[in-house]
């Protein structure tokens, strides 16, 4: 007897009527914006070899299958890694910086109890090579958000701060990952109970406006940490030139969750949506440096409809 012929798999859902209209409008608006700013569209296969993602995603995070030769395949859980594969193969001789954009779907096997979509439509950009123009990418991210909702806020940080602290205090990788999770989730109580340097318990508290830089300066002792903090402060200052200060938050507890980020991180939120609508940052994959961001179109649709219903 068929049990599941009238339902969708957990983490997926059907879209109806105004949701479809909102999704197509957002995708069209974003892709038109990216192309207007000089980005060229690419589409990568939904089905990829496991090896493309194996260094950055746990097996449990991916939907897996095998091909006719018995090779392990996955439904892509990420758009950045395939685009870097493309940049290092068919586009390896293209002039840098290489400006690419995409509109495609990713699949992640999330824990079902957290209520997050497994099927996520994304529109995004990658600038591959070059010096990494943080303010330029952030300005485009702001433009993208304004296509979705005028009610937004940005959160910026730099994952090199946490990574450097782990090395400076010689914390092993297992304990480091435990600390990373507690910092990311701002679990002050468990951090304070661990036998670790006090700076880690303070890290998730370094959250707020411009005064956050002064507080961090008192905690960060090494020249390296002070240098990266000053670079982030400069980016924050540039961001204030085109975003109101009350829309920007500094979060020095942002960490390198995916494993390939190597610099600035930023998230974009809008009122009433519990997950980031936009995520991005500076990263290094293989020997390629790049900067990019992705809009979670699923979340953007909810934001668009919420704003429409509030009018």
What pLDDT is attached to residue 287?
Answer: 87
pLDDT 10s per residue in the chain (311 long)? 588 999 999 999 999 999 999 999 999 999 999 999 999 999 999 999 999 999 999 999 999 999 999 999 999 999 999 999 999 999 999 999 999 999 999 999 998 777 789 999 999 999 999 776 677 899 999 999 999 988 899 999 999 999 999 999 999 999 999 999 999 989 988 998 898 888 999 999 999 999 999 999 999 999 999 999 999 999 999 999 999 999 999 999 999 878 899 999 999 999 889 899 999 999 999 989 999 999 999 999 999 998 877 66
What pLDDT is attached to residue 1?
Answer: 57
Q: C-alpha distances in angstroms, 136 versus 77, 131, 132, 159?
A: 27, 11, 9, 19
What pLDDT is attached to residue 259?
Answer: 85
What pLDDT is attached to residue 195?
Answer: 85
Q: In the block, which residue shows the tokens 């193969």?
A: 89
What pLDDT is attached to residue 150?
Answer: 84
Number of Cβ atoms within 10 Å of the Cβ of 29: 16
Q: Which domains does the chain have, with CATH numbers?
A: 1-150+288-311 (3.30.930.10), 153-269 (3.30.930.10)
Rg of the chain over Cα atoms, rounded to whole angstroms, equals 20
The neighbouring-strand residues paired with 105 are 121
- Give the Cα separation of 283 and 291 in Å (integer): 6
- Give the Cα separation of 18 and 16 in Å (integer): 6
Q: C-alpha distances in angstroms, 253 versus 43, 107, 184, 260?
A: 33, 27, 6, 17
What pLDDT is attached to residue 134?
Answer: 76
- Give the Cα separation of 264 and 158 in Å (integer): 4
The length of the chain in residues reads 311
Report the alpha-carbon angle 141-144-148, nearest 5: 135
What pLDDT is attached to residue 138?
Answer: 93
What pLDDT is attached to residue 56?
Answer: 94
- Give the Cα separation of 258 and 145 in Å (integer): 23
Closest CA to 298 of 121, 109, 140: 121
């Amino acid at each position: 007897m068929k049990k599941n012929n009238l339902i969708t798999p957990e983490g997926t859902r059907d879209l109806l009527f105004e949701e479809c209209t909102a999704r197509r409008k957002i995708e069209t608006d974003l892709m038109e914006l990216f192309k207007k700013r000089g980005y060229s569209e690419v589409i990568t296969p939904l089905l990829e070899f496991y090896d493309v993602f194996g260094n950055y995603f746990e097996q449990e995070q991916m939907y897996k299958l095998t091909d006719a030769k018995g090779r392990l395949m996955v439904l892509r859980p990420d758009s950045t890694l395939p685009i870097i594969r493309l940049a290092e193969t068919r586009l390896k001789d293209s002039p840098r910086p290489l400006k690419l954009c995409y509109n495609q779907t990713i699949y992640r096997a999330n824990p079902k109890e957290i209520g997050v979509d497994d099927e996520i439509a994304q529109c995004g950009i990658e600038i591959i090579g070059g010096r990494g123009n943080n303010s330029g990418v952030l300005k485009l991210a702001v433009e993208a958000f304004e296509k979705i909702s005028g009610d937004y806020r940005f959160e910026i940080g730099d994952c090199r701060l946490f990574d450097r602290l782990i090395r400076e205090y010689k914390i092993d990788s297992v304990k480091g990952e435990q600390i990373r999770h507690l910092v990311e989730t701002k679990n002050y109580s468990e951090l304070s109970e661990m036998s670790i340097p006090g700076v880690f318990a303070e890290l998730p508290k370094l959250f707020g406006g411009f005064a956050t830089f002064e507080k961090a300066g008192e905690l960060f002792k090494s020249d390296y940490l002070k240098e990266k903090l000053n670079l982030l402060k400069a980016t924050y200052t540039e961001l204030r030139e085109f975003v109101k200060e009350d829309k920007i938050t500094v979060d020095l507890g942002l960490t390198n969750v995916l494993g390939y980020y190597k610099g600035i991180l930023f998230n974009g939120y809008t009122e009433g949506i519990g997950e980031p609508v936009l995520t991005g940052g500076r990263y290094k994959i293989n020997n390629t440096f790049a900067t990019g961001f992705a809009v979670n179109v699923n979340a953007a649709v909810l934001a668009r409809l919420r704003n429409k219903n509030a009018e």
